[in-house]
Structure 1
Amino acid sequence: MSWNLAQLDRHLREAKALATAYLIAGEEHLLVLEAADRVRARAKALGFSERQVLDAESGFDWDELARAGASLSLFASQRLIDLRMPGGKPGNDGSEAIQQFCATAPPDTCLLITCTTWGKAHEGKWVQAIERAGGYLPIWPLRREDLDGWIAERARSRSVQLSGDAVAAIAERVEGNLLAAAQEIDKLKLLMPDARIDAPTVVQVMADSARYDVFSLVDAALVGDAARVVRVLRGLKAEGEMVPGLMGWFLTQLQALVRLSQLAPSQQAAALPQERIYGPRQQIVRKALARGDRAFWEQRLREAAEVDRLGKGRGTGDAYLAFERLLLRIADRRKFGAL
């Protein structure tokens, strides 16, 4: 049977016994981990007192799965075989071993397989065997338009009271990283357990979580604070951050500025929410737009593409120096435009 997360939860709540096999697979690692944890917790509650972990990396001997399924429990108890297969491709031997297990597993043994690389091409006869014997839960990447809803639901489940703009602020900053979003919600619960939390509070808490971060770096450039640009960027470099890891958020904001610069000034304010720019950041972006026209921002975007290329080793030059120069041009085009 193929399930979604809600169906798995319902099955685990209602099941008086576990199925023979479960497959939880997807590239949203947090969701895969948490779903697998719920299966393990239910197994423990149902009396599965033994757990055997198998890591099916390259070179794994698939006879180990057959031996695990055939061997008697040391304590005559129920046993969970926890098979971790990150690549999601068992090969011919693995496929045969999994199908054989599903067909012949003893009633006191359950197989849980987790995969953190997944796509339609991974599905094969072994997945069909698991569907017949138990449950298959594919976890597909969360769509950007669904992220706000996921954050809001996650916060509610942990009794964290977020306003709508606070949800949007978290979504804006984590850029689709569910683990980062979950960590921020947990941090807010710890710091403000009974408060109604708005967007400025979220921004402040997230900024306070690290001395240097790419969010404050980009905002420093947009408000024209050249000295802070240099300080934050050099701090990030000292902490071991690499240029490619900083470019994602920066490029997202730069692309938004290019689109906004194509509008008449009278239309820009109304378009800010469409670019997911809310609260105090609207003033930051308006300041930046006042310092450059469409040609200015398009040129900065071309320069950013070159910085990204250097950061990935596809050219000659110092990526950090090129990035610093680009940010300084944004911060003060008159002083640093000739860099």
Structure 2
Amino acid sequence: MRVYPDQLARQLSQLPQCCLIFGDDPWLCEQSRAVIFAEAKRQGFEEKIQLTQETGFSWNELFEQWQAMSLFSSRRIIELTLPQAKPGTEGSTMLQSLMQMDNPDVLLILTGPKLAAEQTKSKWFKVLDAKGIYVPCTTPEGAQFQRWLDGRINHYGLSMARDPREMLFALYEGNLLAADQALQLLQLLSPTAPIDCEQLSQYFEDQSRFSVFQLTDAMLSNQQDKAQHILSQLKSEGVAMPIILWSLFKELTVLLQLKAAQNNPEPLQGVWSKLRIWDKRKPIYQNALNRLELTHVETLLAGASSIELKLKQQGIEDWTGLSHISLLFDPKSHNKLAHIVLD
């Protein structure tokens, strides 16, 4: 059963046989573990065994721990870390076998990185999911991150108006760990008095974390301020420009095909399926299709190609050029700036 981190505490009154905590957000993973451990302790799970699937690891060790009696006559937690989230054939067989051997005195917790869609369809996952709960720990974005941030502000009892909340959003979007640490500090510095933007600017610096996918989504949606901010962060984090260009070319190529079909005219329904664009992402592309002409997209592709050529032939990372490309996703800016050639 899939349970999101903010719902987890409400689902543990009766602990399941196993809990699956997978995701790339360290704060959510750690918080989910802490919630489960606290409830398990309350229900008499005193002993904790930690195993890691690494070189030399034997799945028989997990089997032995499953059957062993507790040294302290208490219930036991076995936490198994799967660094690649892939138990392999032997591990898959073992995990499925253990789920057929009900043991109310053992709680199995599996942890690891984010699971791909195909991994959640594997036999071992389905068997464990049926016997327990799956907690996907994916970093919230946009409105979801704002709701998370508002919840943590309320959790720490902080008094904060809209402007400082938006400033915190810009500072820490995508970095829950740093955001929570910042709120803890604010609780110490200003436990009762209202917190304004001037205080925030004195205490904190920009620690938001973004991906190249968030950058291209912001470009497609014509969120210029956000796109420029993400681009600046990616540069400061040392993200390789070829990765950014790869994502940009990918989205522009998709947009070009959609725009060509739209101009034919050709029903887009078949094109969505052909390009494997799921429903959640259709509004992002539709926004860009409604805003941009085919010539705009072609100019964007030409500009991206020029930046790539400069990188490959001269070794120059043209971040200014990428910023210029982002502006061209706005048709008004495009009509005024497209003719400019950046050296």
Per the normalisation by structure 2, the TM-score is: 0.60
The SS at the match of 1:51 is strand
Correspondent of 2:98 among 82, 98, 101? 101
Q: What is the alpha-carbon distance in structure 2 between the residues aligned to residue 5 and residue 169 of structure 1? A: 25
- Percent of pairs identical after alignment? 30
Q: How far apart in 2 are the matches of 1:243 and 1:116?
A: 23
- 1:82-101 to structure 2, matched below 5 A, reads 82-101=79-98
- Superposed, 1:287-326 pairs within 5 Å as none
* 2:150 equivalent to 1:155: no
How far apart, in 1, do the equivalents of 2:77 and 2:20 lie? 13
Q: Which runs of 5+ in 2 are unaligned?
A: 208-235, 244-302, 323-341
CA distance in 2 between partners of 1:143 and 1:57 (Å) = 32
Which stretch of the first structure deviates more once superposed, 26-35 or 198-207?
198-207
Deviation of the 1:133 alpha carbon: 1.7
- Does the 8 Å contact 2:29/2:137 carry over to 1? yes
Contact 2:20 / 2:111 at 8 angstroms: preserved in 1?
Answer: yes
Partner of 1:74: 71
Q: 1:130 aligns with which of 125, 128, 131?
A: 128
When residues 21 and 208 of structure 1 are mapped into structure 2, their CA distance, relative to the original with a 3 A threshold, is: closer
Counterpart selection for 1:30 from 27, 32, 43: 27
Cα deviation, residue 172, structure 1: 0.8
Q: Encode CA deviations 1:137-173: one digit per residue, 9 max, x unaligned.
A: 2233413232222111111111122221112111112
Distance 1:37 1:245, change over 3 A: farther
How large is the Cα RMSD of the aligned pairs? 4.0
Spell out the pairing of 1:222-233 with structure 2 (5 A cutoff): none
How far apart, in 1, do the equivalents of 2:187 and 2:132 lie? 36
Shift, 1:131, TM fit = 2.2
Q: Which residue of 1 aligns with 2:11?
A: 11
Q: Secondary structure at the match of 2:204?
A: helix
Task: Give me the whole-angstrom Cα distance separating, in 2, the residues matched to 1:208 and 1:131.
Answer: 38
Q: What is the alpha-carbon distance in structure 2 between the residues aligned to residue 164 and residue 109 of structure 1?
A: 47
- Match status 1:171 vs 2:169: yes
Q: What does the per-residue CA deviation read over 1:201-248, in whole Å, with 9 as the maximum and x for residues that have no partner?
A: 222210499xxxxxxxxxxxxxxxxxxxxxxxxxxxxxxx864499x9
**What secondary structure does 1:79 align onto?**
strand
Q: Is the 8 A contact 2:145 2:173 kept in 1?
A: no
> 3-state SS of the aligned residue for 2:111?
strand
Q: Residues 170-249 of structure 1: matches in 2 within 5 Å?
A: 170-207=168-205, 243-244=238-239
Deviations 1:60-96 (A, max 9, x none): 3222211111222222211000111232121111111
- Deviation, 1:100, is 1.3
Code of the residue aligned with 1:160 in structure 2: it is L
**What secondary structure is seen at the aligned counterpart in 2 of 1:103?**
coil
**Unmatched segments (≥5 aa) in structure 1:** 210-240, 249-301, 327-337
1:315 & 1:102 partners in 2: Cα distance? 57
CA-CA distance at 1:132 after TM superposition: 2.2
Shift of 1:38: 0.8
Partner of 1:21: 18
Q: Distance in 1 between matches of 2:188 and 2:202?
A: 15
The answer to whether residue 81 in structure 2 is matched with residue 46 in structure 1 is no
Following the alignment from structure 1 to structure 2, what is the Cα–Cα distance between the partners of residues 207 and 106? 49
